[in-house]
């Protein structure tokens, strides 16, 4: 009798919780709005920018007049000279349930796009001590695809004078991803390192940074990119259209995996007994929909679950904005050990076309937007 009553009340409790969750979700969905809904008038202090009001393909990007941003006390206002695109920009606009949960249920909360920036300081907030108007800087911000953008002082460094704005803008997110990922792999001089997906934004930096650490680098790419990876220092090249690296007899201390298109067992086969596979791109560039979700889930399971039972580790990480690491990358460029590969440069109003190209998943190096 007592058990029956407990079951009855539990069922009512669950039903009530479900109704509440549904109501909260419904309200959150309809309250989720963005700048495009709020601003219908003409901007008082206009600038040109790329904005996206809805989720979707790169076709949703608009080149519009928007309000020029104002820096807060800890920010720097930058006149953008160049920006570069990343796989993250594609994920931000893509219509997926995971994206909606993170970036806004009904519409994207933030309508600005672009993380990598290089430009000239126009104004600084009152707490900013390291920069002054006129300084040439580069780093990470939100909304780099615009004539002006604000960035935190902590996410910027001075641009080396001999490095053009386009090259500086190509460096931050992809360079940090390569550097921090190789550190996750505990890279050491003389080690054998394989870079899968060696010719995209992250891969071209990873090859060169691994070489600067003194590693012996094997690059995996398609036929058309063999010469490119050799030109940036790869010691060995595997053309994935002709050969599967997981079937070779070679063993690697570190696999830096931008593509993650092989299974746990396949990758373990070519790792040394204590080797580390760094999962940089868990979904893989250009992979969409359920295939991307499947790869991400599989690689998370591999990193967090399976690899905890083996000596060979699968490391998953998220790129962090780090001034120290940006300085290190800037120094590598100045020392001539890092040469950004910029495949194409587009004008700001052509950003949708640029993102469409990146979305195909076969960019050679970085795609840059030059802002005039
Ligand atoms: N962990 C993080 O926090 C973090 C941060 C930034 C980026 N990422 C991830 O890192 C990955 C790479 O980013 P990215 O900016 O370098 O992308 P990208 O510039 O679009 O480059 C994609 C590259 O993948 C190569 N590729 C495609 N299919 C391949 C295959 N089957 N085998 C080997 N290579 C293949 C392509 O070369 P071919 O043309 O020769 O096929 C292309 O050069 C993405 O998945 C991105 O999401 C992660």
Q: Are 91 and 289 in contact (CB under 8 A)?
A: no
Mean pLDDT of 183-210: 97
Per the confidence metrics, is the pTM higher than 0.75? Answer: yes
Tell me the CA–centroid distance for residue 319 and ligand 1, in Å. Answer: 15
Is residue 32's pLDDT more than 70? no
**Quick one: pLDDT at residue 39?**
67
Nearest ligand 1 atom to alpha carbon 287: 45
- Ligand 1 pocket check for 333: Cβ under 6 Å: no
The DSSP string of 287-312 is: --HHHHHHHHHHHHHHHHTGGGGSSS
Q: What burial class does residue 45 get, using C-beta atoms within 10 Å of its C-beta: 0-12 exposed, 13-18 middle, 19+ buried?
A: exposed
Using the CB atoms, write b or e for 213-227: b if 16+ within 10 Å: bebbbbbbbeeebbe
- Answer yes or no: is the C-beta of 172 below 6 A from any ligand 1 atom: no
Cβ pair 151, 124 in contact under 8 A? no
Residues 35-77: tens digit of each pLDDT: 787 766 788 999 999 999 999 999 999 999 999 999 999 999 9
pLDDT per residue as tens digits for the range 197-223: 999 999 999 999 999 999 999 999 999
Residues ≥6 apart with Cβ < 8 Å to 54: 60, 107, 108
Distances in whole angstroms, Cα of residue 155 to Cα of each of 77, 115, 158, 179, 339:
13, 11, 11, 16, 21
Confidence of residue 183 (pLDDT cuts 50, 70, 90): very high
pLDDT digits (tens, 9 = 90+) for 233-265: 999 999 999 999 999 999 999 999 999 999 999
| Confidence at residue 342, expressed as pLDDT on a 0 to 100 scale | 97
In percent, the amount of the chain with pLDDT more than 90 equals 74
pLDDT at 24 over 80: no
Q: What is the number of alpha carbons within 13 Å of residue 310 lying toward its C-beta?
A: 22
- b/e 293-331 (16+ beta carbons within 10 angstroms → b): eebbeebeebbeeebeeeebbbbbeebebbbebbebbbe
Please give the residue that has the higher pLDDT: either 121 or 297: 121
pLDDT at 288 over 80: no
Residue 307, pLDDT > 90, answer: no
- The pLDDT, as a whole number, for residue 35 is 78
pLDDT on residue 255: 98
- Any ligand 1 atom below 6 A from CB of 223: no
The overall average pLDDT reported for the chain is 92
Helix extents (H) in the chain? 2-31, 35-38, 87-93, 97-103, 165-170, 172-184, 201-212, 226-231, 264-269, 289-304, 323-334, 351-359
pLDDT tier at 286, thresholds 50, 70, 90:
low
* 19 alpha carbon – ligand 1 mean position (Å): 42
Q: Round to whole Å and give the CA distance between 244 and 241.
A: 8
Q: What is the pLDDT of residue 138?
A: 98
Per-residue confidence at 309, pLDDT binned at 50, 70, 90?
confident
Q: Rounded to an integer, what distance in angstroms lies between the CA atom of residue 166 and that of residue 354?
A: 15
Q: 């820096």: which residue's tokens?
A: 71
In this predicted structure, what is the pLDDT of residue 30? 67
User: Does residue 5 register a pLDDT over 70?
Assistant: yes
Higher pLDDT, 40 or 176: 176
Angle at 160 between CA 168 and CA 369, to 5 degrees: 20
Give the confidence band of 294 by pLDDT, cuts at 50, 70, 90. Answer: confident
Say which residue, 262 or 293, is predicted with more confidence.
262
User: Residue 4: its pLDDT value, please?
Assistant: 82
Distances (CA, A) of 224 to 46, 81, 237, 290, 303: 43, 31, 12, 28, 32
Contact present, 185 and 256 (Cβ < 8 Å): yes
Closest ligand 1 atom number to CA of residue 199: 43
Pocket test for ligand 1, best of 182, 209, 258 (most atoms within 8 A of CB): 258
List the residue whose alpha carbon is closest to atom 32 of ligand 1: 197
With pLDDT > 70 as the criterion, what percentage of the chain qualifies?
97
What is the C-alpha separation between 55 and 104, in angstroms, rounded? 10
pLDDT for residue 128:
98
Instruction: Please tell me the distance from the alpha carbon of residue 179 to that of residue 332, in angstroms, as a whole number.
Output: 11
Whole-number pLDDT of residue 300: 83
Pocket of ligand 1 contains residue 207 by CB under 6 Å: no
Distance 28 CA to ligand 1 centre (A): 34
Radius of gyration for the alpha carbons in the chain, expressed in angstroms and rounded: 23
- Three-state SS at 215: coil
Mean pLDDT of 76-86: 98
Across the range 311-315, mean pLDDT stands at 93
């Amino acid at each position: 009798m007592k058990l029956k009553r407990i079951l009855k009340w539990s069922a009512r409790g669950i039903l009530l919780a479900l109704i509440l969750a549904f109501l909260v979700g419904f309200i959150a969905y309809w309250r989720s709005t963005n700048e495009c809904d709020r601003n219908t008038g003409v901007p008082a202090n206009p600038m040109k920018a790329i904005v996206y009001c809805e989720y979707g393909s790169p076709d949703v990007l608009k080149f519009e007049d928007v309000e020029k941003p104002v820096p807060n006390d800890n920010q720097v206002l930058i006149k953008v000279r160049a920006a570069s695109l990343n796989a993250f920009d594609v994920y931000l606009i893509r219509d997926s349930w995971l994206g909606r949960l993170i970036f806004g249920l009904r519409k994207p909360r933030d309508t600005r796009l672009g993380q990598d920036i290089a430009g000239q300081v126009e104004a600084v907030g009152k707490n900013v001590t390291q920069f002054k108007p006129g300084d040439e800087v580069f780093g990470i911000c939100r909304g780099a695809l615009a004539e002006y953008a604000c960035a935190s002082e902590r996410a910027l460094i001075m641009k080396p004078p001999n490095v053009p704005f386009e090259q500086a803008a190509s460096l931050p997110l992809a360079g940090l991803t390569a550097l921090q990922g190789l550190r996750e792999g505990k890279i050491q001089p003389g080690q054998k390192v394989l870079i899968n997906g060696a010719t995209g934004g992250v891969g071209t930096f990873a090859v060169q940074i691994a070489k600067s650490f003194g590693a012996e680098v094997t690059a995996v790419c398609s036929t058309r990119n063999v010469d490119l990876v050799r030109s940036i220092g790869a010691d060995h090249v595997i053309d994935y259209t002709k050969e599967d690296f997981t079937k070779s007899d070679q063993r690697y201390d570190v696999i830096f995996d931008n593509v993650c298109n092989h299974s746990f067992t396949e990758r373990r086969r070519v790792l040394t007994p204590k080797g580390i596979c760094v999962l940089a791109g868990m979904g893989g560039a250009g992979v969409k929909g359920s295939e991307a979700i499947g790869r991400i889930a599989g690689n998370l399971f591999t990193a967090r679950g399976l690899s905890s039972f083996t000596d060979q580790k699968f490391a998953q990480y998220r790129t962090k904005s780090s001034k120290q690491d940006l300085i290190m990358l800037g120094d590598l460029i100045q020392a001539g050990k890092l040469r950004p590969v910029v495949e194409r440069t587009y004008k700001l109003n052509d950003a949708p076309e640029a993102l469409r190209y990146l979305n195909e998943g076969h960019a050679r190096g970085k795609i840059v937007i030059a802002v005039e």
